[in-house]
Structure 1
Amino acid sequence: MRLDGVLLSLDIDGTLDCGNPSGRLCRQDALAAVEAGALIGSASDRTASDQVRVWAGWRVTPTFVVPKHGLAEVAARFPGWSRLHVGDGFVDWLEATRAGFDFLNVADLAATPWSLPAALQPWYQHRDQPSRRRATPHPEEESDAQLRLSM
């Protein structure tokens, strides 16, 4: 699985498990994308220095850290790349689509991995491997599993 030519932007709060509130994506998700060749970074309401601290805590070197309204500058640096921003709210969607990024709500990623753009589906598949899962489940994972079983 290769993700060469894919630019992956992540919101922090509500998207990453280290965010406030905690989100569904974990360090292993970021590492899997990087290992597959994607360029990864963050677009957040947090300051750039705070975003850098988050990545440093994960021991991941991001390609970019910008405020959400800075996604257009990132897009301009990578013309012709597939661009995806994963976030959890309206402002994420708004700023991503204004900048020419596809948008994926992190809740949709967790519930329906098949909704991913085709280039990113292999990236998501690693989440099924026990060694790649978070040690502590997200509080909503149990209820999501129960919902899927009842369908």
Structure 2
Amino acid sequence: IFRTLALMDNPEEVSTIARVIASLEEVIDTTLGLKWGKDYILVDGCGLSEYNLTTPAHLVKAISYLYQKYDFKILDYFASTKESGTLRERLPFQVWGKTGTLSSASALAGLLETKNKRWVVFCFMENNFIFIEEENDPKIFENRILKYLYENL
């Protein structure tokens, strides 16, 4: 997705990382009103890079925008607790999301339909934790919050 975005603007042009970042900056500024260097930093588009920086609030804003524009079609681009992938069987209710993990960092952003049929866009980012078995697994922390949201909203 990262490299193909620039090709949408100009299919004849070589899709360099610099060109892709310039295209993304324009799209993000136009659609979300976020400024590169102030609101986020995108260096290489790699999900495992510690150099790409954003906030949970900005990811919620981006997912909310996509949901408002494309409705349920965006769910096809997320892993799900009911299908194969990083969220499979993680929770007993339906959650769609994207996960990310680095050493001492974990993230989950996506959508949840509560038991009362309300839709919630969420994002969790935890860092600087020391993982010792399940004692302080950030996924358990995320699951507890999602269960609370599912049950109470």
User: With structure 1 as the length reference, what TM-score do the two structures score?
Assistant: 0.28
User: With structure 2 as the length reference, what TM-score do the two structures score?
Assistant: 0.28
Greater relative CO, 1 or 2 (CA 8 Å, sep 6+): 1
Larger Rg: 2
